[in-house]
Amino acid sequence: MKQLCSFLLVLFFAGSLRAEDWKLIWVTSDYAWHTHQAEGSLTRSGAHLKGTLLGLDDKGVKYELDITLSSGSASARFKVSPELDEEFENLSGTYRKLTHAGRLGCIEEIQLINQYEYVGLFREFKCEP
């Protein structure tokens, strides 16, 4: 009986985590502007997104994200690997979900910024009631 309860708990929590496909653009500036793109899946658990996206222009680059959504705002920890310091940066910004938009019907958009960089995330998906 104890094993059955444990198994049901694992199934319950696994069902609450959903992988979603996202696209990312990262803009930084030093002596010039630099833009990079990535895509992949982030796992959603309630108002929390977490995962690693892979670079489109350089397949060896990984973008690690840990995002918390709250009504129209978002805060995140963000890290690019490999980079010189490979430390997480804190970013904050906006979150919005639009219905009746895009090819598939719904859009989610997250825009994050700090003093050094901009990170934009976007996903299109089929609206479900």
- CATH classification of the domain holding 48: 2.40.128
- The answer to whether residue 84 sits within a structural domain is yes
* Per-residue confidence (pLDDT) for residue 20, from 0 to 100: 93
Comparing 75 with 13, which gets the higher pLDDT?
A: 75
Instruction: State mean pLDDT over 20-29.
Output: 94
Range of the domain at 71: 18-126
pLDDT digit string (tens) for 83-128? 756 788 999 999 999 988 878 889 999 999 998 899 999 999 988 7
Res. 6: pLDDT tops 70: no
* Per-residue confidence (pLDDT) for residue 99, from 0 to 100: 86
- The answer to whether residue 26 sits within a structural domain is yes
- The answer to whether residue 13 sits within a structural domain is no
Q: Kindly tell me the sign of the dihedral angle through the C-alpha atoms of 86, 56, 19, 25.
A: positive
Ramachandran sector of residue 109 (left: φ over 0; alpha: ψ -120 to 50; beta: rest):
beta
| pTM of the predicted protein model | 0.81
* Per-residue confidence (pLDDT) for residue 102, from 0 to 100: 77
- The answer to whether residue 101 sits within a structural domain is yes
- The answer to whether residue 55 sits within a structural domain is yes
Cross-strand pairs, 127:
none
pLDDT digit string (tens) for 53-88? 999 988 889 999 999 999 899 999 999 998 756 788
- The answer to whether residue 31 sits within a structural domain is yes
Alpha carbon distances (Å) from 53 to 10, 46, 107: 26, 20, 19
Instruction: Please enumerate in sequence order all residues whose Cβ is within 8 A of that of 68, keeping only pairs 6 or more positions apart, or say none.
Output: 47, 48, 74, 75, 76
* Per-residue confidence (pLDDT) for residue 9, from 0 to 100: 39
* Per-residue confidence (pLDDT) for residue 7, from 0 to 100: 43
Instruction: State mean pLDDT over 1-8.
Output: 46
Report the SS3 class of residue 89.
strand
* Per-residue confidence (pLDDT) for residue 13, from 0 to 100: 45
**How many domains, the chain?**
1
CA contacts within 13 A on the Cβ side of 81: 9
- The answer to whether residue 56 sits within a structural domain is yes
